[in-house]
Amino acid sequence: MLEASTSYQRAYSRVSSSGMIVPTLFGDCSAVHDVWAETAQDAFVDITALLHRDSEVDYMIGIDLEFAIPDGVVSLGREPPSANVHYEELCKTVNGGNLVQVGFAAADANFNVLGVWQFNLQFQSAWRAPWHAGVAFLRDEAKLNLEEHASHGIPAAQFIDWLASSAMIRNPKITWISFMGYPDFGFLIRLLTRQEALPVDRVQFLNLFWELFPRSFDVRVFTKLGRCRKEVIHGGLATVCKTLQVERVGDAHHAGSDALLAVRCFHKMMTDSSDFVTQIPRYCGVLYGVVVDCCRCP
């Protein structure tokens, strides 16, 4: 079990709804804090301490991953026609793929942001073919410093060990917020289960997802499919952000910024419509693409 770190002694506090003092890690809780190999264990200690501080508080954690798909994998170039084909595409992406960046944005039930962490994992561009489009995207579009990832990135096995021993997994007090989150959770599930590949069967994958991440909402279920909303929003996270008039903190295609943006978009939809709030429970646990339409209905 991770032990308390000294960084909490430097933190300031707020009062939770239960009246307890809940520390927040940084003066600007919405600032994205880069985590490298040297600081990764302390970051997990801080997150775990935060989640354990008040047992009466429910938390939300936005999640986003940046990753490199395996050599030779080619996208369909169109929306997969069924949940099973979505899952087949997920397996191609995840099996043999590499995590490059993982973002977590923690907030309380009132959407007060408590901290945003961007874990930078060990990745070398030499692990892919020189013409690999995904590496070019990470370097040229996302503007990730791949040399820094190679020299100071967190080894994936060490990252997943810390994640598994944190308070984040199998925690029913946490609601995970993603945007088209099945590749994000797919990578984490493959690593958490210590397997080289995801299960062949989609339903087996979903059972693992619901076990490891008991509560979750996928923003794209509501925006692109129009569930619980009158307005459908086509396009990616940047388009959704612009339509909902949600301001980004940090850079696009960076995991910490995108994780925070997912939480803020979800919050905006909740504040825009009381009907949305009452209707969303049936979509808890639904991952866009790989779950047909309603909670626990594969």
* Most trustworthy range by pLDDT among 46-50, 133-137, 155-159: 155-159
Domains in the chain, CATH or no CATH each: 6-283 (3.30.420.10)
Task: Kindly state the tokens that stand for 53.
Answer: 């501080």
Task: Inform me whether the pLDDT recorded for 14 exceeds 70.
Answer: no
Q: How confident is the prediction for the chain on average, in pLDDT?
A: 87
Span 15-30, average pLDDT? 42
pLDDT tens for 77-101 read 788 889 999 999 999 999 999 999 9
Task: Kindly state the tokens that stand for 196.
Answer: 């080289």
How far apart, in Å, are the Cα atoms of 264 and each of 50, 107, 134, 227? 20, 10, 27, 18
pLDDT tens for 219-239 read 999 998 877 777 888 888 989
- Are 67 and 187 spatial neighbours (Cβ–Cβ below 8 Å)? yes
| pTM recorded for the entire structure | 0.87
pLDDT tens for 242-296 read 989 998 988 889 999 999 999 999 999 988 888 888 889 989 999 999 986 665 5
Between 200 and 21, the higher pLDDT residue: 200
